[in-house]
């Protein structure tokens, strides 16, 4: 029933040498939703290239910071770039993804949602705090805005982005807004007519002087 | 070669607040004479941080919040969000609820498409016909108000079904309204095919080629007008779409006229779908009449809003609030295609071409 190629899992395994976690299920309408976890974020580009070959359309990119599993205490002292080997060498208290990225509430999970002829496939890549991920724009032009939005909402870096400006937030706003607690009164600052009026009149006086 | 010593190009701002733009988007347009040579798009004038807010509210409050993301596709947001929650929790929507979801969806599509095409006629400068088309749309708006009590945010969706029901009287009323809209829409299509003013301004203007449409990943009527035969309702069916006689309209020219035409034809299809839904409407409850806790999990769901594919990603945890909600609206994908459509266009056509992607900024920036 699925419109995904029969040998998709094998081809994805070949494209991602660090390892994958693949699962798929088909609903009562015959629509398949597949999930593909990558052990290493470095495999993103080759896997995305394979999907492009299959005629996939990039639909959305979600960035999120998965919270640490509850039974573990917050442990923020290590930021491992290459978690897989470290995990084998010295097992840490911090829970890890199957690829070895620490799940301490500071790592990023980046989900690339693709459409293949009506079926949905999501690539999941993990990036530790302070890490970076390659831009998908060389393969999918429409990754542009998604990656710009991701860079302003989180402190995640996207390498080789052709236009890494702010997308929606003004340059005067500090970055990584979804990683901080922003009080509601601050968030809706511009919505307060009085505050806005006072700021504008102050700016006007300064300009006139 | 010009002998005058004047700069080759001028830079003019269009927006963020501009008489001919319906949405606060800022275009920095470089022109050579009357011709657009380069455009830069500057967004961020309607950013409200709704994505952040969703994680502070419960799953059930978010049904209300997501409806406020946009007014013209206000039904698609809570529906797709609810579909994601239902998928995680394994909730099965009752049959009557499934059909009523489709009814609400298609009613919104009819009024949304009529609104966009009416605005196109306004930008063409044919004001009398614009007012006539808005009058036709008003039949649909009256229908929404009579059935749901609201003209824009109709509040039809809930997790596990819908919050409204139809009886014989309201079904007869909807059928009567649809008959009126159908006759008028057929007239409008005829006008669009023959009226010189409309044809001259819209034919061959703002072309998005098939190849560029694929590169940009555009969705909805914009994609279908450029020959991408894709509709979520057919490709990834939800609600009752798998058992309805859905016709997907696509054209190949990729110009402003084609995009308007796809929308007009889709209005007629929506009316057909509504009639079948109302005829086959099964009995039974409209929702599950329960508010179960949504267990931890993640889901991706999609639906076809009037402007194209809406996709929701939902991740839940043990708390009543979702851990992450992310969605992408069709317009988010379609802005970029304006770079292709506006290239070498005439300055006078800029507002019309922008309108032809049916832009929705409150959706895009959230």
Structural domain for A120, as ranges: 8-176
Residue A34 lies in a domain: yes
- Interatomic CA distance for residues B343 and B345, integer angstroms: 5
Instruction: List CB contacts (< 8 A) between A23 and chain B.
Output: none
Residue in B44, B217, B242 closest to A58 by CB: B217
Res. A73 pLDDT band, cuts 50 70 90: very low
For range A44-59, the mean pLDDT: 86
What is the residue-wise DSSP string for B69-113? T-STTTTHHHHHHHHHHHHHHT----HHHHHHHHHHHHHHHHHHH
Res. A191 pLDDT band, cuts 50 70 90: low
Residue A201 lies in a domain: no
Supply the pLDDT for residue A75. 47
Residue A202 lies in a domain: no
Residue A19 lies in a domain: yes
- Interatomic CA distance for residues B184 and B114, integer angstroms: 11
Residue A25 lies in a domain: yes
- Interatomic CA distance for residues B191 and B359, integer angstroms: 24
Whether the predicted pLDDT of A89 surpasses 70: no
Select from A59, A71, A139, A187 the residue whose CB has the most chain B CBs within 10 Å, as the one to mutate to test that interface.
A59
For range A1-9, the mean pLDDT: 75
Whether the predicted pLDDT of A6 surpasses 90: no
Is the complex ipTM higher than 0.90?
A: no
A167 vs B216: CB contact, 8 Å cut-off? Answer: no
What element of type H or E holds B332?
Answer: helix B330-334
Instruction: Share the mean pLDDT of chain B.
Output: 87
Unique residue bearing structure tokens 């991740």: B315
Instruction: List CB contacts (< 8 A) between A60 and chain B.
Output: 311, 313, 326-328
Supply the pLDDT for residue A83. 46
Supply the pLDDT for residue A87. 46
Supply the pLDDT for residue A80. 47
| CB-based contacts of A192, cutoff 8 Å, min separation 6 | none
Res. A209 pLDDT band, cuts 50 70 90: low
A67 vs B317: CB contact, 8 Å cut-off? Answer: yes
Task: Give me the number of domains chain A comprises.
Answer: 1
% chain A with pLDDT above 70:
82
- Interatomic CA distance for residues B108 and B103, integer angstroms: 9
Q: Which residues of chain B have pLDDT under 50?
A: 1
CA distances from B312 to A142, B83, B299, B318 (A): 17, 9, 8, 20
- Interatomic CA distance for residues B109 and B306, integer angstroms: 5
Residue A3 lies in a domain: no
B217 vs A66: CB contact, 8 Å cut-off? Answer: no
Supply the pLDDT for residue A86. 46
* Count helices and strands in chain A by DSSP H and E runs: 6, 7
Collapse the DSSP code of A49 into the 3-class scheme (helix H, G, I; strand E, B; otherwise coil) and give the result: helix
Q: Give the domains, in start order, of chain B with CATH numbers.
A: 49-365 (1.10.645.10)
Instruction: List CB contacts (< 8 A) between B224 and chain A.
Output: none
CB–CB of A36/A47 below 8 Å?
A: yes
Supply the pLDDT for residue A72. 44
% chain A with pLDDT above 90:
1
Residue A132 lies in a domain: yes
Which residue in chain A has the smallest CA separation from B233?
A118
CB of B44 within 8 Å of any CB in chain A? Answer: yes
CB of A157 within 8 Å of any CB in chain B? Answer: no
Instruction: List CB contacts (< 8 A) between A64 and chain B.
Output: 315, 323-324, 326
Query: How many residues are there in chain A?
Result: 209
- Interatomic CA distance for residues B318 and A118, integer angstroms: 31
Residue A165 lies in a domain: yes
| CATH for A118 | 3.30.460.80
Whether the predicted pLDDT of A92 surpasses 60: no
Supply the pLDDT for residue A33. 86
CA distances from A166 to A129, A160, B205, B221 (A): 20, 15, 31, 29
Q: What is the pLDDT of residues B31-83, one digit of tens each?
A: 888 888 888 888 877 777 788 888 888 889 899 988 888 878 888 999 999 99
Q: What is the pLDDT of residues A129-157, one digit of tens each?
A: 878 888 888 888 888 888 888 888 888 88
């Amino acid at each position: 029933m699925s419109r995904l190629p029969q040998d998709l899992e094998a081809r994805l395994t070949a494209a991602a040498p660090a390892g994958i976690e693949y699962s798929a299920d088909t609903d009562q309408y015959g629509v398949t939703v597949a999930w593909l976890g990558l052990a290493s974020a470095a495999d993103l580009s080759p896997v995305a290239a394979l999907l492009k070959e299959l005629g996939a359309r990039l639909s959305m990119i979600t960035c999120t910071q998965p919270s640490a599993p509850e039974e573990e205490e917050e442990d923020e002292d290590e930021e491992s770039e290459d978690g897989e080997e470290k995990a084998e060498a010295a097992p840490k208290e911090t829970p890890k993804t199957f690829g070895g990225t620490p799940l301490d509430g500071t790592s990023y999970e980046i989900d690339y949602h693709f459409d293949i002829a009506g079926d949905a496939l999501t690539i999941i890549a993990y990036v530790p705090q302070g890490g970076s991920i390659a831009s998908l724009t060389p393969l999918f032009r429409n990754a542009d805005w998604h990656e710009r939005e991701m860079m302003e909402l989180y402190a995640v870096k996207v390498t080789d982005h052709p236009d890494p400006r702010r997308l929606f937030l003004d340059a005067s706003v500090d970055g990584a807004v979804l990683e901080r607690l922003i009080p509601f009164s601050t968030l809706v600052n511009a919505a307060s007519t009085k505050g806005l009026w006072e700021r504008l009149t102050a700016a006007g006086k300064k300009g006139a002087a | 070669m010009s002998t005058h010593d004047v700069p080759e190009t001028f830079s003019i701002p269009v927006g963020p607040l501009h008489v001919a733009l319906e949405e606060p988007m800022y275009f920095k347009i470089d022109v050579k004479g009357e011709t657009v040579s380069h455009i830069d798009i500057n967004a961020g004038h309607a950013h409200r941080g709704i994505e952040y807010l969703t994680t502070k509210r419960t799953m059930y409050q978010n049904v209300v919040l997501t409806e406020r993301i946009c007014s013209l596709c206000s039904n698609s947001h809570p529906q797709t969000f609810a579909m994601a929650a239902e998928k995680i929790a394994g909730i099965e929507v009752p049959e009557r609820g499934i059909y009523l979801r489709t009814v609400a969806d298609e009613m919104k599509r009819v009024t949304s498409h009529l609104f966009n095409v009416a605005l196109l006629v306004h930008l063409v400068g044919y004001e009398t016909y614009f007012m006539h088309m808005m009058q036709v749309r008003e039949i649909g708006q009256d229908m929404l108000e009579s059935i749901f009590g609201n003209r824009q945010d109709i509040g039809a969706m809930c997790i596990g079904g819908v919050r409204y029901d139809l009886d014989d009287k309201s079904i007869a009323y909807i059928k009567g309204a649809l008959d009126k809209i159908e006759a008028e829409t057929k007239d409008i299509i005829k006008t669009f095919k023959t009226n010189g003013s409309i044809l001259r301004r819209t034919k061959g203007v703002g072309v998005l080629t098939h190849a560029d449409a694929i590169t940009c990943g555009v969705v909805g009527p914009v994609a279908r007008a450029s020959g991408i035969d894709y509709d979520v309702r057919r490709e990834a069916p939800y609600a009752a779409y798998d058992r309805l006689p859905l016709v997907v309209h696509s054209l190949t020219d990729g110009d402003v006229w084609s995009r308007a035409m796809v929308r007009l034809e889709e209005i007629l299809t929506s009316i057909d779908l509504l009639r079948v839904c109302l005829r086959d409407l099964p009995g039974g409850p409209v929702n599950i009449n329960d508010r179960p806790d949504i267990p931890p999990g993640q889901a991706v769901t999609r639906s076809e809003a009037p402007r194209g594919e809406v996709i929701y990603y939902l991740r839940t945890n043990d708390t009543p609030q979702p851990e992450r909600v992310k969605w992408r609206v069709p317009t988010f994908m379609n802005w970029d295609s304006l770079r292709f459509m506006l290239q070498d266009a005439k300055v006078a056509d800029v507002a019309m071409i922008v309108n032809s992607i049916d832009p929705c900024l409150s959706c895009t920036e959230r």
